[in-house]
Structure 1
Amino acid sequence: MGRELYIFWMEDGINSRNNSSITYIMTFKISIVLYFAATIVLLAQTEQRTAITLEECISLAIENNLDLKTTKLSKDTWNVNFRQTKNALLPSVNGSYNLGVVNGRSIDPFTNGIVNQELTFSNAALGLDVVAFNGFRLINRWKQAKLNLKSAEMEVEAAKQSLILNVTLTYLQVLNAQDLVKLAESRLKTTQGQLDRLRSLYEEETGNPAEYHDLQGQLALDASSIVESKNNLETELINLNTLVNSEGTITAAPLNMELDVDVYGHTAQAVYEQALLVFPTIKARDLSLEAAEKGIAVARSQYVPEINLFANLNTNYSSAARLFNESGTSIVETGNFVTVNNQEYNIFSQQTNFRSENIPYPDQFDNNLNSSVGVSVNVPIFNGFRAKNNVALEKIKKEEAQTALAQIKLELKQSIKQSYSAMRTAFERYKLLQHQVEAYKESFRINEIRFNNGVSNSVDYIISKNNLDNAETNLANVRYEYALRVKILEYYRGTI
């Protein structure tokens, strides 16, 4: 290719047979330069990629794909909700403690008397609350959360299966693009061989110049096809690396086996019936419908009285609390007197003296302990029709879940029918294109012999060559299209 380009440059300078020839050569030269430039760019983009198998590619996608991670996080949220509703069935135990200072007029928590002083106070409490009956609201809410969790798990499985399908299809598209690049390069090589033969005749001025220039144009067309094929390959590689989230570091390794194009062994109806049993999205919608039914039971429990059992333990402390102990006796005047012989005498009495002491903090908490147990009943009489409206809303949610299930089944059936029809069409086209390729191969073989022997012209040769090239390209495309359609149907059957 390099020597050919060099000769064209020389011809441009020394060979001036006619102006149209020079213009044609310049056009061809620009096409070849663009081909080399594009090839260098594409090689620079792909040379650092690592070829991996389909199984390795799927494993990386499951580990790194961001959409799948988002779905898993949604499932984790439902898991937390499920644990929360499950734990709501347990008794509720709460404790409280406070410590503070009051200045001014206040009520002494120890004596309940009014004091006007700085007062330090403290309280501690422990309470137990058990829901004995509330119309099975907590149980139904727990069951609803469990169904929602299972539905979320099915959504994760559906996202995983969808990712596997997308990776598989994109991987096959990469392989198809690789094959098309090889076909384009093979065509260029064939044209180059013919051009080398005609160049010798052209330089000796014994051949037909028009045929030489026709092959130059064909070579430019083949080079352009390689550029386009490699660009398509790069696009598919970008799509594959996006699914795997590998930052453009991988490519598809060639398959070790041929893609078989055999009659598909299942009908569209059989695929649909199997999908209803195993397709994760269908299971997720079924579970969502069951969860909606539990939601109605939860809402109806608001019509039922709620019975709770409770128990409390309390104590307190006050800095105003005092303990008075005897500290001795003393003789004090009573303020009364007696008269003896017209003489007044004061009356004295013996008085017991007490000493005031603070009651220690632990002693007060121990001495002031009190407890209570009981039953509370909350009877709904009128609540602004809140219970009735909640039941109505839950019934609407159930209808929405039923509609969503019917919709997904309808879409599934339509998708299967479309994929099945496309698969049958691809199969029939493959068989027809096989015969077409064989016919064009024989036609090209004959035309190539005739052209080499000077019996036919370049126009017939190029037409025959392009017919074969197009037929081989169409055959390669339809073979991979058939494989893609089969993979989609197997995905619906749950075998991928």
Structure 2
Amino acid sequence: MFKSKLYLLTIVAFSLFNVDAFAQDVQPLETLQLNLKETLAYALENNVDAKNAKLEIMVSQTTIKEETAAGLPQLNGTVGINYNPLVQVVFLPNEPPFGDPTNPSDVIPARFGVNYSANAGVNLTQMIFDGSFFVGLRAAKTYKALTEYDKIKVENDVIENVKKAYFGVLVNAERIKLSQANLTRIDSLLEETKALNQAGFTEKVDVSRIQVQRNNTFSQLKRSITAYDISKQLLKIQLGLPKNYDILITETLAELNPAEDIAALQVMEGAHRVEMDQLETNLELTQLDLKYNTSQYMPTLDLSANFNRSGAGDSFSTLFKSINWFSSSMIGVSMNIPIFDGLSKSARIQRNRIQLQQLENQKFYLGQNIQLEIYQAKQNLANDLEVLAVQRESMALAQEVYDISKIKYNEGVGSNLEVVEADAALIESEINYLGALYDGLISKVDLEKALGILKEGITD
């Protein structure tokens, strides 16, 4: 009996623990209300790639410090204690006048050294001349400039991805609204048809036909909800938003894309692209690498100096007596003159010159490609706007056809099949319209990227 009660209490305790743990795991989401400008600003601060690009600039700053340190004095201290359990013996000939006649051997062992020795010193080196030092320092600063351009490029990519994800959320939200409206409309038609069937004015097949249409519309709503959730999760990933946050978009598609802005994009000339800055900086780095390899043929001059104190003793207690310690110092200048390295420097110089030719070719190609990209993006946007206008007109016509078919059906001069077909055509036209709308939004972002104006207006 006691064991049964104990078992019951254990189950209750574990149940309470699991409920408490579940309550801690399931936390209410915090809603973050954002418009497009705020969304982009948040992404530039919290997106993983954007944060890493900023950290890379900090890395380049440490590279400059490292290169600068090579030209500054290098000071090192040394301290050491040695213990010789067996001091090395040196053999001397057993000959007059220092020989030992009592020693029958022809050599005399002599111990040169003590059991304990110690030293402490300071070493100083200073570069006087090294042609590669200044080239390396300039290259480090140029590399920092490249990381800054890389940061701009990463931010442009982040803005592009966030905009496309943001528009995807808005379009999928519109899909849900249209699907809900369609479901409400078809439900109303289904109830009317059921009532007419019960009254004997319609056949059972008419009810079934509308029921099939209702099921298709409900499935479309579910797909729209799923697509909306996925697009929102994609946007959260692009933003670097924590899992316990939800997003509430405070703008509509009409507010974000006024017709005058789209018209202005189609006549705008391209701005300077950061990709060209990146390529030119890589070109400069390769030129500096060529200078660096060329400077390796020049001699280097270095100053070295040291100061040391050495001491010794036969026992550890006498090792640190001041009378057993002596000083020494040295100042010197050394020159290193390259003579022959197996032509490795020559090979590196030749490689640099070939790389410069490659980068010049890439620069020419990039300039041509940017112009083509702008032209293609403008054409795509114009085509998508034409398609959007056609789909908008088709949707209005499909709505008109449905309204007329519904009126005719209610007045008894139209068939149930006409209403179902008109409803299906209306839903299809709505899907086509939203698809064309999303294509137009993506083309608008692509054109902004091609023109080099993705970041305009974000930090105002």
Q: For this structure pair, what is the TM-score category when the shorter chain's length is used for normalisation? A: 0.7 to 0.9
Amino acid at match of 2:88: R
Match of 1:52 in 2: 33
Q: How far, CA to CA, are the matches of 1:389 and 1:251 in structure 2?
A: 57
Residues 122, 49 of structure 1: CA spacing in aligned structure 2 closer, same or farther, 3 A cutoff? closer
Aligned partner of 2:379 in structure 1 is 421
Matched, 1:188 2:183: yes
**Residues 159 and 389 (structure 1), Cα distance of their counterparts in 2 relative to 1, 3 Å cut:** same
CA contact (8 A) 1:158 1:281 kept: yes
How is 1:253-292 mapped onto 2 (pairs within 5 angstroms)? Answer: 253-255=249-251, 258=255, 259-262=257-260, 263-267=262-266, 270-271=269-270, 274=271, 277=272, 279-292=273-286
- Report 1:298-313 matches (<5 A): 298-313=292-307
Aligned equivalent of 2:439:
481
Aligned-partner SS, 1:201 = helix
Q: Percent identity?
A: 19
- Superposed counterparts of 1:81-100, under 5 Å: 81-100=63-82
Q: Which residue of 1 aligns with 2:169?
A: 174
Aligned to 1:251: 247
Answering whether residue 457 of structure 2 is matched by residue 494 of structure 1, we say: no
With over 3 angstroms needed to count, the CA separation of the structure-2 counterparts of 1:255 and 1:269, relative to structure 1, is: closer
Distance 1:264 1:222, change over 3 A: same
CA distance in 2, matches of 1:478, 1:261: 16
Q: Does 1:218 align with 2:213?
A: yes
Instruction: Assess if the C-alpha contact under 8 Å between 1:187 and 1:469 holds in 2.
Output: yes
Output the CA distance in 1 between the equivalents of 2:448 and 2:319. 83
Alignment of 1:369-448 (within 5 A): 369-406=327-364, 408-409=366-367, 412-448=370-406
Matches within 5 A, 1:307-326: 307-319=301-313
Number of residue pairs matched? 402
2-side partners of 1:387 and 1:144: how far apart?
18
Distance 1:216 1:359 in 2: 105
Length-normalised TM-score, structure 1: 0.73
Q: Distance in 1 between matches of 2:187 and 2:332?
A: 100
Native 8 Å contact 1:151 1:285 kept in 2: no
Q: Deviations over 1:58-89 (max 9, x none)?
A: 34434443333444444444333222112112
Q: Is the 8 A contact 1:134 1:305 kept in 2?
A: yes
Distance 2:64 2:89 in 1: 48
Q: Tell me the SS of whatever aligns to 2:258.
A: coil
Name which of 83, 87, 97 aligns with 1:104. Answer: 87
- Asked whether the 8 Å contact 1:145–1:291 carries over to 2, the reply is no
* 1:248 to partner: Cα distance: 7.3
Q: CA deviation at 1:50?
A: 3.1
**CA–CA distance in structure 2, aligned partners of residues 260 and 211 of structure 1:** 44
Secondary structure of the residue that 2:296 maps to in structure 1? helix
**Alignment deviations for residues 179-222 of structure 1 (CA, whole Å, 9 cap, x no partner):** 01110110111111111212111111122433322222211121
Quick check: which has more Rg, 1 or 2? 1
* Corresponding residue of 1:120: 116
Q: Deviations over 1:96-137 (max 9, x none)?
A: 222112232269xxxxxx7346432122332222222222x1
Cα RMSD of the aligned pairs, angstroms, is 3.0
Q: Secondary structure at the match of 1:270?
A: coil
Partner of 2:269, secondary structure, is helix
Counterpart CA distance in 1 for 2:153 and 2:453 is: 10
| SS of 2:430 mapped into structure 1 | helix
**Structure 1 match to 2:125:** 129
Q: Report the Cα distance in structure 2 between the residues aligned to 1:360 and 1:215, rounded to whole angstroms.
A: 106
Distance 1:358 1:442, change over 3 A: closer
After superposition, the C-alpha distances for 1:398-445 in whole angstroms (9 at most, x for unaligned) are: 345445545555554444343322211111122222332333332222
Structure 2 distance, partners of 1:401, 1:457, is 71
Distance 1:215 1:303 in 2: 88
**Following the alignment from structure 1 to structure 2, what is the Cα–Cα distance between the partners of residues 169 and 438?**
27
Change (3 A) 1:248 1:172: farther
Distance 1:302 1:83, change over 3 A: same
**8 Å CA contact retained: 2:311, 2:320:** no
Q: Hey, what's the Cα distance between the residues in 2 that align with 1:411 and 1:438?
A: 40
Give me the whole-angstrom Cα distance separating, in 2, the residues matched to 1:143 and 1:440. Answer: 67
Structure 1 unaligned segments of length 5 or more: list them.
1-44, 108-113, 322-356
Secondary structure of 2:123's match?
Answer: strand
Letter in 2 for 1:94: N
1:164 aligned residue (159, 165, 168): 159
Closer, same or farther in 2 for the Cα pair 1:299/1:120, shift >3 Å? same
Q: Post-superposition shift, 1:485?
A: 2.1
